[in-house]
Amino acid sequence: MDDERNEPMNSGRPKTTKRWAAVILGAAAVLLTSVQCGTANEQAGSAQPAGTPPSTSTASGPSSTTGPTPSPSPRAEQAPVQGCETVIAGMSPRQRLAQLMVVGVNAGNPQAAVKLVRDQQVGGIFLGGNETALLQNRALDEVQRAAKVPVSVAIDEEGGRVQRIDALDGSMPSARKMASTMTPAQVRAKAAERGRQMRARGVTVDYAPDADITDQPDRDIVGDRSFGADPEVARKYVLAFAQGLRDAGVQPVLKHFPGHGHATGDSHKGLVRTPPLASLRKVDLVPYRDIGEYGEVSVMVGHLDVPDLTGGTPSTLSAPAYRLLRKDYAFDGPVITDDLGAMKAITAQYPLPTAVLKALQAGADQALWSSGGNIDTVLTALEQALASGALPAARVDEALNRVLAAKQACG
């Protein structure tokens, strides 16, 4: 995301963990299981991982292999997550699809957010803008009580000009300022402190850190949202910020893959074009190298055209872009799109239901639109695509396994 107050762009977990392998393999079993309505309601505990609500008093293109392939991430020895297939088997097709949606809500209208979650059972909500009512007085507890499966609650909290809780908890420096005045260890501590503040307010996901590499002036589209122009140095700070959020139990989201820092254009106004893939590998993609070191994170894909990879298609809708992330950069955690409903890079070409469908077909696990609304229309279009085979059931269950596992919603 990237608008300073309202939108997500312009606002690793270990690749090969046994946990993710287990949940993805579980999708195959789900395809053989008949579905019926109903989901499991997972109440949060006192020591919840990121993606789980806080406790309450009650509650086709070119190949993606141009250039050298990075070394695979190290395996992390974790126990497999059990129960995803059982949870999924209790969902109707529409409920499964709804879990793959993250929609914007008006943070100044808590009851509207409760109604949306109760009626649509979406997988996540996004709080943009300056309003803070949903972030006060445990208002998000009621939202969680309306969800049959825990709903992820996301904000943009990068620091600097992209903050959401500064009016409540004080301001945090920009990424560039932190990198120039603090050590990585200090940044990790700062991110952990901010993460604890977010968790206390009910936030479970932060669309940060910005992993873009740039020396743009501060107020440019990325500018001071970046940790710097040196990819190796910036990576250390991206890693530290992400680990700090994880320390606090907030899910970090690295963005904007495959790299916005040297791109030309503004995705709010049209398609953004990056340098060739070989150049991205040397600079912009460095933060995604050895992504297993980050722990359990998500990645946000930007509306970026990579000339020799996506062929004029935004990366959010491009299967080769997702293959680049999955295969070459060995990432098997959840992948979310940048905002599909508020940026002309997408809206000038596709209506929202088409954009969401194309993103899921290409490889996204969750589709985001910050404007909210149109959920019935989108879900109906997706149901039709699922029934016809245009959206394969295996693709839906693969994405759903990742989403549920990230929220610790599998029992």
Could you report the per-residue pLDDT of 185-207, keeping only the tens digit for each? 999 999 999 999 999 999 999 99
Output the six-digit token pair for 324.
């680049």
User: Residue range 166-173: average pLDDT?
Assistant: 98
Considering the chain, what is the average pLDDT of its residues? Answer: 86
Percentage, residues of the chain above pLDDT 70: 80
Q: What sign has the CA pseudo-torsion 282, 345, 218, 245?
A: negative
Q: Which of 256, 260, 262, 268 is catalytic?
A: 268
Short-list 338, 334, 333, 234, CA closest to 287: 234
User: Residue range 49-54: average pLDDT?
Assistant: 44
Output the six-digit token pair for 243.
């680990």
Per-domain residue ranges of the chain: 18-29+82-406
Output the six-digit token pair for 250.
């907030």
What pLDDT score does 127 carry?
98
H or E element at residue 139: helix 139-145
Residue 38 vs residues 34, 46, 121, 246: alpha-carbon distances, Å: 13, 26, 11, 31
Residue 338 annotated among the catalytic residues of the structure? yes
Ordered DSSP codes for 273-292: EPPPHHHHHHTTTGGGTTGG
Output the six-digit token pair for 388.
């016809």
Q: Which of 156, 338, 365, 397 is catalytic?
A: 338
Q: How far, in Å, CA of 46 to CA of 359, rounded? A: 35
Instruction: Kindly report the backbone phi and psi dihedral angles of residue 228, in degrees, each rounded to the nearest multiple of 5, phi listed first.
Output: 145, 180
315 in Cβ contact with 258 (< 8 Å):
yes
Output the six-digit token pair for 145.
């009580």
Q: How far, in Å, CA of 373 to CA of 173, rounded? A: 33
Structure-model confidence comparison of residues 24 and 387, the more confident one: 387
What pLDDT score does 401 carry?
96
H or E element at residue 251: strand 251-257
pLDDT at 16 over 90: no
Which value, in Å, is the radius of gyration of the alpha carbons in the chain? 19
Tell me which amino acid residue 342 is: A
Question: 3-state class of 402 per DSSP?
Answer: helix
User: Residue range 217-241: average pLDDT?
Assistant: 98
pTM for this prediction: 0.83
Give the end-to-end CA distance of the chain in Å, rounded to a whole number. 31
Q: Which of 2-11, 53-62, 151-160, 335-344 has the lowest mean pLDDT?
A: 53-62
What pLDDT score does 73 carry?
41
Structure-model confidence comparison of residues 63 and 157, the more confident one: 157
Ordered DSSP codes for 184-224: HHHHHHHHHHHHHHHHHTT--EE---B-------TTSSSGG
- Quick: pLDDT tens for 54-103: 443 333 333 444 444 444 443 333 333 567 889 999 999 999 999 999 99
Alpha helices, DSSP H only, in 45-107? 84-89, 93-98
Report the 10 Å Cβ neighbour count for 129. Answer: 17
Output the six-digit token pair for 180.
């120039």
Instruction: Kindly report the backbone phi and psi dihedral angles of residue 405, in degrees, each rounded to the nearest multiple of 5, phi listed first.
Output: -65, -40
- Quick: pLDDT tens for 376-406: 999 999 999 999 999 999 999 999 999 999 9
List, in order, residues 6 or more apart from 54 with CB less than 8 Å away. 44, 48, 141, 199, 200, 202, 204
Domain 18-29+82-406 part of CATH 3.40.50.970: no
187 in Cβ contact with 244 (< 8 Å):
yes
What pLDDT score does 83 carry?
72
Residue 268 annotated among the catalytic residues of the structure? yes
Q: How far, in Å, CA of 54 to CA of 96, rounded? A: 23
